[in-house]
Amino acid sequence: MNAPHDWLQRFHERDPIALAKIITIVENRQPGYQELLDALYPRTGNAYRIGITGPPGAGKSSLVNSLVPLYRAEVKTVAILACDPTSPFSGGALLGDRIRMQDLVANDDGVFIRSMATRGSLGGLAQAAQEVALVLEAFGFDLILLETIGVGQVEIDIAQAADSVVVVLVPQSGDVIQAMKAGLMEIADIFCINKADQGEADIFYRNLQAMLSLAMRDWFPPIVQTVATANQGIEKLKEAIEKHRAFLGEEGLRARRRARLRAFIQELIEQELRVRLWDGSRLRDLEEQLERVWEKTVSPHQVARHLLKQLGISRAA
């Protein structure tokens, strides 16, 4: 039972152990992971994906904790993929507060939770998260919650792999600015002001609304106020997500998913290209050229042009 393909049969029989095992194979890029994904791919595409992102401490885990039972009441199966592009410095320790979430699964096999942390390059996590999301889709979950920690580019990439993106903020003055700076404003389909019983939530609400009104778009992101720990406003949040889904419609959803698929394939190619590029003799060549740049015999751009020429990839016709 060790070859990747042996797990497929059990996966198709909806064995959660096979699901966990296949995710591990994909996450760690173990031999055969691409073939597994190839085999699963035809079964994907039937889950709705909700991205939940925002600065650390905004209470995203609590929100997920409150949101999931509402979907479970509709007998929808839910997978939660919590992604932590944490630096190697912290290991994966910051996923700790996610342990509380395990309550959700304790007596319910309709809920599945998986945490992913960075291994090596940051770009790799967004890619791996998308691959794991495909596995979850193929397993048959109705709903996938993509939860991220923090507001970096990786989080944005992961959130953009969702059909509806919820940006969670707390009513603190710096938060809107920071979210803006991080590029969260563009990707938000729904804003959630969590911990709305703290701080100056009303002023925050008005500021956020004022800022949003500056941007013209078809869909004006609704702002929902919640207190996740007290289960307040969660129904409204769910309604807002459903409204966005209805707004997208068949056509909008298709457009979004196609764009996502295109970006995913492009990234697959670029990543593999990078791996192939900096290998063996090419890395040695770079090292030699680096010596000449260091001595100021040539410039960095001259070396780049030289190495590119050797690669022989020309602009396409």
Segment 206 to 265, residues that bind a second copy, using CB under 8 A: 215, 258, 261-262, 264-265
Which residue of 6, 103, 186, 242 would you call a contact of a second copy, by CB under 8 A? 186
17 binds a second copy (CB under 8 A): no
Considering beta carbons, is residue 203 or 290 the nearer one to a second copy?
290
- To a second copy, the closest distance from the beta carbon of 76 in angstroms equals 23
Question: Nearer to a second copy by C-beta: 38 or 74?
Answer: 38
Q: Does 82 bind a second copy (CB under 8 A)?
A: no
Residue from 8, 20, 105, 122 in contact with a second copy (CB under 8 A): 122
Residue from 32, 57, 69, 140 in contact with a second copy (CB under 8 A): 57
Is 304 a residue that touches a second copy (CB under 8 A)?
yes
Amino acid at 231: N
> In this chain, which of 63, 83, 149, 227 binds a second copy, going by CB under 8 A?
149
Binding part of the chain for a second copy, among 72-80, 139-147, 192-200, 287-295 by CB under 8 A, reads 287-295
**Out of 109, 213, 288, 301, the residue judged to bind a second copy by CB under 8 A:** 301
**Which of 28, 183, 230, 255 forms a contact with a second copy (CB under 8 A)?**
183
Site stretch for a second copy (CB under 8 A), options 46-54, 146-154, 158-166, 229-237: 146-154
Residues 247, 82: contact at Cβ < 8 Å? Answer: no
